[in-house]
Amino acid sequence: MLRLEGLTKSYGALRVTDDVDLAVEPGELRAVIGPNGAGKTTLVHQISGLARPDRGRIVFDGREIGHLAMPERVRLGLARSFQITSILPGFSVRENVALAVQACSGSSFRFFGDASREAGLNEAATDLLARFGLIGRDAVPAGRLSYGEKRQLELAMALATRPKLLLLDEPLAGTSHAESRQVVETLRALKGKVTILLVEHDMEAVFALADRVSVLVYGRVIATGTPSEIRADPEVRAAYLGEEAA
């Protein structure tokens, strides 16, 4: 589904991703872990189109997409969430999802109208709100949601675009323990239904969810394997996991 070949990105003298090779299979939940400053978010930026690599190739679903802008990649089936939630705080929860459905569906786009009044959009939004446990919050302005609820809403909006590949940049960041459990259960339910590339610091969640884990350190992939293989890898333990793997 996704293949990165020699992906390299520098900012001045700092090389943030360094000749990264990575292949994600259809239906796989692949986690990318590593210490702060390892280049994880920059890697996601390059895949999503927010940043252009200096060199290397990004092949998505058999097509080279490195030259495409972010909206074009979304239309091909690539969706992402951010470390900081990206929602429309003044719109209701339902309106946020309905607008995401509308943008993908190609229906008439009346941004300042009430998209949730259109029957087709409303039905699709209701299905997504139910999946993410937000039905009872549908009329609430999105800016008033708890942080965990905002994460759930952002995931619902990403799923509204019917992605083939979902890029998730630290979806558990800032969530409470209960909210983290809800997000983990949501991701578990999505496994196998959509290909997921997950960047996350919560090792308990990573090892519970991931089919395979890639470890990024100083912009380079130093290991890829199953969660048990990564736990046991001495180079990974020395570079990142340390006592977390004990």
Q: pLDDT tens for residues 64-88?
A: 999 999 889 988 999 887 544 568 8
Would 179 be classed as within a structural domain? yes
Would 122 be classed as within a structural domain? no
Would 13 be classed as within a structural domain? yes
| % of the chain exceeding 90 in pLDDT | 46
d(CA 156, CA 151): 9
User: Judging by DSSP bridges, how do beta strands 55-60 and 14-24 pair with one another?
Assistant: unpaired
Would 112 be classed as within a structural domain? no
Domain containing residue 211: CATH number: 3.40.50.300
Which residues form the domain of 195?
2-87+147-245
Q: pLDDT tens for residues 148-194?
A: 888 888 888 888 888 899 999 888 887 888 888 888 888 898 898 89
Residues with Cβ within 8 Å of residue 142, at least 6 apart in sequence: 87, 88, 89, 90, 91, 92, 93, 96, 150, 153
Per-residue pLDDT at 44: 93
Would 136 be classed as within a structural domain? no
Q: 129 vs 110, which has greater pLDDT?
A: 129
